[in-house]
Amino acid sequence: VQLQASGGGVVQAGNSMRLSCTSSGRTLSSYHMGWFRQAPDKEREFVAGISRGSTRTDYDDSVKGRFTISRSNTKNTVYLEMNSLKPEDTAVYSCVASSTVYSNWYQNLRDPDVYALHGRGTLVTVSS
């Protein structure tokens, strides 16, 4: 496994949680990164993306204003800070990495196929 997401668990609605994505064999500063999620019986969906140099971020409308994606190159880690969680945020969250050129990534960042690396996810359960 080249990417590993962690930090999931059970949280009450309205509370916060921070997910982390690390890699033991890859330098994540070389990649554009993203988070996707998949709820039970639903398609995988884009959550957030951040460019290689952190100059550009993008969010799905369902999480905009509540979630924040960030990265620490010194810690080789990408984060997803999730606030005001809702039961509909319940899903397995996974991180992804893309080495493509910036223009291609930004035009397609919501497409999982633009990411060459896909990590094992972490389950987030939001109780009402």
| Residues 44-58 pLDDT 10s | 999 999 999 999 999
Q: What is the pLDDT of residue 2?
A: 87
- How crowded is residue 55: how many other Cβ atoms within 10 Å of its Cβ? 8
As given in the structure block, the two tokens for residue 84 are 């005001």
Q: What is the pLDDT of residue 79?
A: 98
Q: What is the pLDDT of residue 82?
A: 98
Q: What is the pLDDT of residue 1?
A: 60
Q: Which residues contact 122 (CB under 8 A, 6 or more apart)?
A: 5, 6, 7, 8, 19, 92, 93, 94
Is the model's pLDDT at 76 over the cut of 80?
yes
Of 37, 18, 26, 19, the C-alpha closest to 1 is 26
Q: What are the tens digits of pLDDT across the range 21-42?
A: 999 889 999 999 999 999 999 9
